[in-house]
Structure formats: C-alpha cells, structure tokens
Chains A and B, each alone.
Chain A
C-alpha cells in the first residue's frame, strides 16, 4: 500500500476544517489507568506459573570458568535452570528486529553470558521455582567460578593502548586502514564538508572545550516484567511490557531458534520505555525456563536489576572547536565524540554525529565519532539516542561563542540557522522544517523578557532529531451499530492510542467517542515496527487514516447499492452518505449507522486493513530557554522557569504533544543536574536505586511552558511530525548555559551536581 496520499478533502489540504484532530478529548484508556485496572507487565498471571529469577555476575569483567547448578536443581520447588549453554550459538547477524539493526549475536550474549561476564549485573544463569523464596535460595546454591579480569569503564581509558580488552577480536571499523591489533574501539565514523583548516583560518574568534557526560538511565518507573509459556507442542505465548510486541517476537524467535508463527506476544500496558524497552532481557530467559519446566514462568526485575542489567545510555568525552567571524557567521566546526557502548558495540555515536551540527549551516566542518566498548551494561536507546549528548557539547560551545562575540545567543543561532533548501550537516536537503520559527517563538516569548536577579542565570539551547517512519499496520472494523474499532500494533506509551482514534474519527467524519482504539497482539494485527523513534502518530497514524479511507470508499459503495445509483453519485460528508444522482432526489442521506445496520445484505462486514512502510518522516527542531538560581550555600540549582518551543508539524492531540515536550524537558534537566551512574573501584554500580540515582521530583521543577510551532509535514494526512524525542535534546545545554550565566564559570562535566558547583564557587571566592 502506498504511503503517498491523494485526497483533497481531508487534513491540511482541507484548510484546517478539522472537527476532531487538534482537540483534547479524554483518552480512551483513561478510566482504567486512573482506577488501577489497567494491566501492566507485572499485573498478569497464568495459572500454574513459576517465578523466574536471574543470577548475575558480581564482577565487571570476568571469565566464567564453570557453573555448577547441581545443588540448586536438587532443591525442592526448583523446576528449571538455564545458563548460556542452553541457548544456541548465533552467527554475527544484523537484523531489522524493530527500528534499528541490532547484532543478534551480541543481543543473545547480553541476555545470557557465555564465556565471559562483561559487566556487574550480566546474567549468567536463570532459575524457575514454585515461589520467590525458593528461587532466591536456588540462586544462592549455584556456584559460579570466575576468573576476575581487569576492567575498564571510562571511555578514553578503554581506548588507550594498554586497556584490558573486552572482546579479543575487535578490530576498529571505519578507519582508513584496518588496524593490526584488536582494541575496544568498535568503529569510527566521520562526516566532513568543506575545508576545515581554511574555515578556521578565516575565523576571527575561536572557542574550544572538552566536555564529559556520564551514563544515565531512561528511568522508567515500571521495571521489566513478562510472563511466558512454552506449550508442549512448541507454541509459545508471551505477555510483556515492551515498546514493541513484534520486536519481542522477532528477538525471542532468533535467540531461541523458533519460527515466528509459533510465538504470540501480547503487549501489556507499558509503564514507560523511552527507548529502554526496545529490546529484550527477560523474555528469552522466561521462555527457555518455561520450555525446560513445562510451566509458564513469570519474571519481574527489581529496581537494582533495572539499573545494573538493562541498557542505560552512553557516557561520553567530547571535544568541540568552533570558529566564527565577528559578525557571528560560523566558519568552521570540529567535533570529536567518544561514546561508551557498554559491553557490546552499538553506542548511538553515529546519530550523535549526524545530529551534532544539524541546526547549523556551517560550510566547513568535521565530525568524528568513536564507538567504544566498556565494562558497563550494554547501552540501549534513550530518547533521541546520542543526540542530547553531542548537543550538550555543541550548544555549550555555541553559547561560549556568543559570549565571546558579545552576541545574543538566539541571534547567533538565527544567523547560522538551517532553513528549507539548505543541506543538512548529515547530508540531505531540508524541506518543510520549522527551526527558525522555534527561535522566533522563544525570542518573543514572555519568558525571555523577564529580568533576572542575583545568583540567577538564563541559558538557551537548540536541538534536532530525525524522527522515523517505518512499517505499520492498522485495521478498522465497523460494528453493526455504526461504531468502530481501530486496531494497531503499537504499544501506547504516551497517549498515542487516543490520537489513532481521533485520526480515524476525523477521516470517517464521526465523533471520536464512536471509535475505540485497541493495541493488539502479534497474532491479531499485521506487523508493526515498535513504538519509538517518534514514529507512531506519523506512521501508524498514516495507516489508520488510509484504513479509514478504504472504509469510507466501501461505505459509499454500500450506499450506492442501497440507493441503486452508481458509486460516483455518492458523496461522504461528516459521517453521512449523500446521494448526488439528479434522477433520484428522494433519497435521504444515509448515516454510517444506517449503512452498517445493513452490511450483511450489502456484502458483508465493513472492515479494512492497511499495511505500509511510511517514508518521509519530518525531522523535529526545538529551541529552549532555562532560568536557574544557584544556592550559594549548597551549590543546589533551582530551575525557575523553562520554555520549550518545538516544531510539531500538527498537534493531533495538543495535550499529549505538550506532555511529550514537558516530559523530555524533565529528563533532560535530570541529566544535566543530578543523574549519573557511579561505579566503585571494582566496577560495580554504587547507586542502583532511586534514592541515589536522583531523577527530578515534583519539587525540582516549575511549570514547563510548551510552545507548539506548526509547520506541517505534507507526507502525513494531517501534517504531523514526530514529537517525542526532540524535547530531551536541548535541556542539557540549556541548563548548563544557565548555570554558566549564574556562576560566571563554564562547567563542562555533567551532571552539575551541588558538590561540583560548590567547588566552582569556592574557587571563585578563594
């Protein structure tokens, strides 16, 4: 099915004559969510289920010499034990199991270690038992002999000549010549344009800096949880909290050597993901335990396990050098990014490189990215993966440039802003972008005019994310009473199912309360790429609208049958068929309800399904302002005000678009001020809980003003662009630039926690 639309009467082509899209109806899953009825991952149970638990390496780097589970197996109540030996060895294979190619062999080895434990928390065995207490006892009875190896975690240390190697046969890809010695550097990427030396030579002013960030976690409040059942005939079912039931199906099939049709995955409601649930940790283990035991197995992670053994995002070391003329024209940029990948290759340094300068039109630049393995958990996607990190470094450098030039930071960005028709730093030419509009929005916002007091500072930063399209399926079924159900395969993380119902209702011309959205399991709806990449409203929405259009065409055909006129004498307006045949003026209009009531006689059920691979997703831009106040006694930072302007294309449900913006900002603020993985000298995480891994709480934040700029994406029926990820890109630097303004000192190492700020204030006083 094509993703290109050709309808003059709907959407942005209709000139904003929209009845449902753009309004704020109550979400259809709301009642269950506010009454505690909605079923999340750990809320589901199967009769006869066992409890599954994981034994995890206490060492950051160790060879697994032997695993002796005899005593554990003998414990009454223990029904199954699996280790790496129970999983097939996979060849190196990249697979489209979701939205990004992932190396399945690495994924399988991350789910269950083979010959080496590569981080504190790496799974080395799993048990299934009749109760939690028995499972815990069994874990304690498994004897693992480790040969502890030197570990390395900091990224530049991992790149050093003499660093302990995680994988003996890793030779850096992407260099001019293949190195003759293995290292921890999986890959180098480079993007360049123009003549860097000439660019710097032409500059009147140069700024440079070295910036560092620490590993941070997505911080979803719901730990990973699943229930899996491997039946005696090899058919499997999985209930799982994840961002993509089809992704879970694919990965489980690959890791366990199953046929796709033999696994049915039902998505639970998901308690947050942000990219962290775009892969699997427990599901293959639960299935393997179920196979061995002959019972369903339920597995729920503890918070400690979530921090130690799922996928945070990369820590980094970055270098930025910018050159500009006195009028503010940036003539050259040199950016080097070194990202931690964790135990296996695959940091988001590629995306970090492509987005680093995306907001700027710079004729001469070079961006170099290094993907480096470290003895830390294998990183997983975290909201605009890679982009917030590189944006932190670049936006701080741009801010320093503005200071050195004596220019307003927004004006400097406007001077060098990308616009339609310009080539992006990562290659393609921009069209239908709304970047300068976001700069204009913050420049003219009331926030920007508010005067600041002592110990206060204001910071500005901008950000970019691609957003993706991809494969989606939607089905629309009309009931005998004229109400409809729209079925998709995308877990609803932030309210997207409401938007599906709204778009279907708009296309059908009926009220949104007459369309119920369902998120279905893998057997009940066609394939859909997972929920992530800010794709659902764009791509799945496109499929929904096309399905609705097919239904409308069918409704018109049925009306024609009922009236005995030709199909082109039927018009569909606001949920009602109108007879246009001049010879039959006695035909009153037929409502959807009336046509549905006759569906059996006119041809059968009225239903449509559309599968597509949506292309042309529009990128997102954002511009943020942050005001902070420093407490000189404690070094604590209070965020006083925050305004975020973003190009959203078209806000289908404005409240949920605002929600995405506000939520992304909050995560970015936490990343800037407090969040970090702290490891001890043995490479073990010291703060694997919410007490010491400090995410923002209600009293840390002010109201967050979201300004939605709408420059429609013509590829989407209603002009929508993805919105979920861009909001987390600017805040790291917006906060850091505000702190710089408040303290007078540029701090380059995140998080800007109170002890660090106190040290800066002490140095100033001293």
Chain B
C-alpha cells in the first residue's frame, strides 16, 4: 500500500484526514483510487498538484511507477521564473 501524505489544500476533500494508504502501482491509478475514495481529490491532484514518490518529484506523469511501500507526498505544482 502506498502511503499518501496530503497537505492542508487537499484536506477539504479528505474530511481533514492528513495521511492515508492507497493501493496503486502508477500515478494514474493513484489518482483514480483517491478520486474513488475521496470524490474531488483525484481530480484536484491531477490538475493542481505534483506528486513526490519516495522523494522524487513527478509532475503530470500518469505512468510514473509507485512501489508497494512507496511514500507519496502531494505538493502544489511547482513553477519557476
């Protein structure tokens, strides 16, 4: 199970829950699983957030692999100048 940590932005969808486990082996499946469990969250994450998988930041990357014990951090999408 991937362990997901969600920032304050996302807690409006999770009912305040800051951490939870999800079964998913790719980012795309993670998003669908989160959407199924917390309606609105998957869509929000897909559009507005980046996903850090075991420390590495992935942005707009549906096929990025997630391991069975991966630590997933949801962070806002990062821009630059």
| A residues neighboring B (CB under 8 Å) | 94, 96, 98-101, 174, 189-191, 218, 274-276, 278, 348, 350-351, 354, 381-385, 426-431, 465-471, 532-535, 613, 615-617, 715, 722, 725
Contact = CB atoms under 8 A, between A and B. Distances in A.
Contacts of B56: 428, 431, 615-616, 715
B61 A428 contact: no
User: Which of B48, B59, B78 has the largest count of A CB atoms less than 10 A from its CB?
Assistant: B78
Nearest to A422: B55
Contact of A429 (B48, B71, B75, B76): B71
A381 B48 contact: no
Contacts of B25: none
B8 A191 contact: yes
A429 B55 CA distance: 4
Contact of B7 (A278, A427, A471, A535): A427
Interface string B13-49: 0000000000000000000000000000000000110
B78 A725 contact: no
Contacts of A470: 59-60
Interface of B: 5, 7-9, 47-48, 52, 54-61, 64, 71, 73-81
Given A189-B9, A191-B8, A468 B47 contact: no
23 contacts: A275-B81, A278-B79, A381-B80, A385-B79, A385-B81, A427-B5, A427-B52, A427-B75, A428-B56, A428-B73, A428-B75, A429-B54, A429-B71, A430-B55, A431-B55, A468-B59, A468-B79, A532-B80, A532-B81, A534-B80, A615-B59, A615-B61, A616-B57
B77 A100 contact: yes
Q: Which 8 A-B pairs have the closest CB atoms?
A: A275-B81, A533-B80, A100-B79, A428-B52, A427-B73, A381-B81, A429-B55, A383-B81
A98 B73 CA distance: 23
Contact of A99 (B8, B47, B58, B80): B80
Given A350-B76, A465-B80, 6 more contacts: A275-B81, A427-B5, A427-B52, A428-B71, A429-B55, A615-B61
Contact of B78 (A189, A351, A382): A351
Contacts of A383: 81
B76 A354 contact: yes
B74 to A, nearest CB: 8
A354 B71 CA distance: 18
Given A428-B73, A617-B57, A385 B80 contact: yes
Contacts of A94: 47-48
B52 A99 contact: no
B18 to A, nearest CB: 9
Contacts of B47: 94, 101
A98 B77 CA distance: 12
A535 B80 contact: yes
A323 B76 CA distance: 28
Contacts of B9: 174, 189
A613 B78 contact: no
B13 to A, nearest CB: 13
B78 A533 contact: yes
B52 to A, nearest CB: 3
A275 B80 contact: yes
A207 B75 CA distance: 29
Contacts of A174: 8-9
Contacts of A96: 60
Contacts of B60: 96, 470-471, 613
Nearest to A465: B80
A715 B56 CA distance: 10
A274 B75 contact: no
A27 to B, nearest CB: 22
A381 B59 CA distance: 19
User: Which of A189, A354, A616, A725 has the largest count of B CB atoms less than 10 A from its CB?
Assistant: A616
Contacts of B58: 615-616
A381 B77 CA distance: 14
A385 B78 CA distance: 10
B57 A384 contact: no
Contacts of A382: 81
Contact of B81 (A426, A616, A725): A725
B81 A101 contact: no
Given A381-B79, A383-B81, A101 B52 contact: no
Nearest to A382: B81
Contact of A101 (B5, B7, B48): B48
B2 to A, nearest CB: 13
Contacts of B75: 354, 426-428
User: Which of B5, B48, B55 has the largest count of A CB atoms less than 10 A from its CB?
Assistant: B55
A715 B64 CA distance: 14
A593 to B, nearest CB: 39
Contact of A613 (B55, B61, B76, B81): B61
